[in-house]
């Protein structure tokens, strides 16, 4: 039987989501915990691949299990996975449901603070004084729609297409001294969100006009866009699925 696992994790201790030789990953930690409990290998497939240091507020992954899990499985997994991973729920889904391919929408948030905040250290970017968030929102609005985001993608990725349907992109004030950028799309390219944020920050620093982002899109050249922002302030915020796949 197939199940969806909903979890969150702090990205700092891990070299991203995906298993890779020589580096600890979120996927590896959970697969080892599942294998310990099942006494056999249990592959785990995530909704996507977060890069090293990127956090997840809500990640979904699927795995196959031999029986209906009870609360004991959830407690055991949380115990085995350590303090930086929290597994919130396990739900049965259709046997052919897929955490990556059945996702209809994904959202990310990038956090920024405008003053020194020791409690946000490592989880929010310290923005410079005078950053023009109105200009950044004007630029972000020009990204909406189904577009080719090659200029914001990491080079030499294995993506078959660089077309993404961007449904929302805006900076929101969280408090007097804190902001977050929320971006929503059907899919994202590798490093895309951090590159978009870096380009918007150039707009906010008045290094370019908001309209310049259209030229960057049209050039389909990663070198045309801004720098990639630090990973620790980025959160995979949510992944949505059709209710029809849940049993």
Catalytic residues: 51
Q: Report the C-alpha gap between 33 and 35 in whole angstroms.
A: 5
- Please say whether the beta carbons of 233 and 53 come within 8 A: no
5: tokens are 């696992």
Q: How far, in Å, are 27, 59, 169, 243 from residue 138 at the CA level?
A: 37, 30, 10, 34
Query: How do 55-64 and 234-240 pair as beta strands?
Result: parallel
Nearest to 233 by CA among 112, 151, 62: 112
- Please say whether the beta carbons of 1 and 64 come within 8 A: yes
Q: Give DSSP secondary structure letters for 73-115.
A: HHHHHHHHH-TTEEEEEEEEE-TT--TTTT--EEEEEEEEESS
């Amino acid at each position: 039987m197939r199940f969806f696992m909903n979890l969150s994790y702090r990205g700092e201790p891990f070299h991203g989501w995906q298993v890779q030789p020589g580096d600890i990953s979120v996927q590896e930690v959970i697969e080892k915990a599942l294998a310990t409990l099942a006494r056999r290998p249990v592959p785990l497939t995530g909704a996507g691949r977060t890069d090293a240091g990127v956090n997840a507020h809500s990640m979904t992954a699927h795995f196959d299990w031999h029986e209906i899990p009870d609360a004991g499985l959830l407690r055991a997994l949380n115990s085995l996975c350590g303090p930086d991973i929290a597994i919130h729920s396990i739900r049965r889904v259709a046997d052919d449901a897929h955490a990556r391919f059945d996702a209809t929408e994904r959202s990310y948030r990038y956090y920024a603070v405008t003053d020194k905040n020791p409690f946000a250290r490592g989880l929010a970017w310290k923005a410079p004084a005078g950053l023009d968030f109105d200009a950044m929102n004007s630029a972000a609005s020009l990204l909406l729609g189904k577009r080719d985001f090659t200029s914001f993608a990491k080079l030499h990725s294995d993506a078959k297409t660089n077309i993404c349907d961007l449904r929302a992109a805006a900076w929101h004030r969280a408090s007097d001294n804190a902001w977050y950028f929320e971006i929503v799309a059907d899919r994202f390219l590798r490093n895309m969100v951090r590159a978009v944020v870096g380009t918007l920050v150039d707009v906010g620093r008045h290094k370019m006009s908001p309209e310049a982002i259209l030229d960057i899109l049209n050039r389909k050249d990663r070198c045309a866009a801004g720098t990639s922002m630090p990973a620790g302030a980025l959160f995979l915020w949510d992944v949505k699925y059709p209710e029809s796949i849940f049993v």
